[in-house]
Copies of this chain bind each other. A is one copy, B any other.
Amino acid sequence: MIKTKFDYNKYLRQNTLPHIWCPGCGDGIILKSLIRAIDKLQIKKDDIVIASGIGCASRLPGYVDFNTIHTTHGRALTFAIGIKMFKPRLKVITISGDGDALAIGGNHFIHAARRNIDITLIVFNNYTYGMTGGQYSPTQPIGSYATTTPYGNIEPPFDVCDLAKAAGATWVARSTSYHALQLDKLIEAAITHQGFSVLDVITNCHISYGRRNKMKSPVEMITYQKEKGIPVRSAENLKPEELTGRFKTGLIYQKNDAPEFCAEYQKKLELLKTK
């Protein structure tokens, strides 16, 4: 799988580098994957809007040369919906941490999914509130530690993909920062999908999560992703007990014939015109 050198510079705001993330933070790996996917799709930079909330992951937009909006904590999708509905020709991608997307932002998550609006949401799922120093998040595994679960977490985590699907998302997948090449393809597919697409990317935060959970280094954390991730297909052949502690990767759900929200709205407008 030899590749020629990929030129990220075209998409980077180079004078903002080096980025703010800690050494070895998986967010940088995902950022690169996102750039490669967008490059593959050859979308005009002017036509891309990236909106994010607040958190480490949400710092991403600052580094890329698109129309970028670093909104408030948990609300990226609301801005995204506004601009997408007003200018449906734009490709709108939303970047959120797990806390951003699913704790404070959980309501916008399920409603964007319900509407099946053509926006791609990438959840940078590091099981923690990275930016505020490692409080537990709604995806943090039971029994693990955080600054606010000194005696071990007792809150069950969301399965981001299950939730997205039940709420109405029509394209749902999972990957990790380790599976960066799989991620390229999934991001590409997510952006291409006509409807609300949710990509749950398990990413590594050794600073706020790992070092409280016996994974002090980025390497340990990425190794965890490598070992625990299991492709959807392979998972099918395993018994439930073989799956405990593991998570499925790859495309988890797709529905192509569901009406997309912007398109439906445009149809209404057309109808009114002819009236």
Interface residues of A, Cβ cutoff 8 Å to B = 103-107, 110-111, 114-116, 138, 151-152, 154-159, 162-163, 165-168, 258-259, 261, 264-265, 268, 271-272
Contacts and interface: CB of A to CB of B under 8 A. Distances in A.
Contact of A151 (B138, B157, B268): B268
A54 to B, nearest CB: 16
Contacts of A167: 158, 163, 166
A234 B264 CA distance: 33
Given A116-B156, A154-B268, A163-B167, 13 more contacts: A103-B111, A104-B107, A106-B106, A106-B111, A110-B158, A115-B155, A151-B272, A152-B268, A156-B258, A156-B259, A163-B163, A163-B166, A166-B166
28 contacts: A103-B111, A104-B107, A106-B106, A106-B110, A106-B111, A107-B110, A114-B138, A114-B155, A114-B156, A114-B158, A115-B156, A116-B156, A151-B268, A151-B271, A152-B268, A154-B259, A154-B261, A154-B264, A154-B268, A156-B168, A156-B258, A156-B259, A158-B167, A158-B168, A162-B166, A163-B167, A166-B166, A166-B167
A259 B143 CA distance: 13
A105 B166 CA distance: 17
Pick from A163, A166, A265 the residue with the most CB of B within 10 Å: A166
B166 A159 contact: yes
A137 B251 CA distance: 31
> Which 3 pairs show the lowest CB-CB distances between chains A and B?
A166-B166, A107-B107, A106-B107
A57 B161 CA distance: 32
A11 B10 CA distance: 70
A103 B115 CA distance: 12
Nearest to A264: B154
A115 B265 CA distance: 36
Contact of A111 (B111, B114, B138): B138
Contacts of A157: 114
A108 to B, nearest CB: 8
A234 to B, nearest CB: 23
Contacts of A259: 154, 156
Given A114-B138, A165-B166, A167-B166, A155 B106 contact: no
A163 B110 CA distance: 9
A261 B261 CA distance: 37
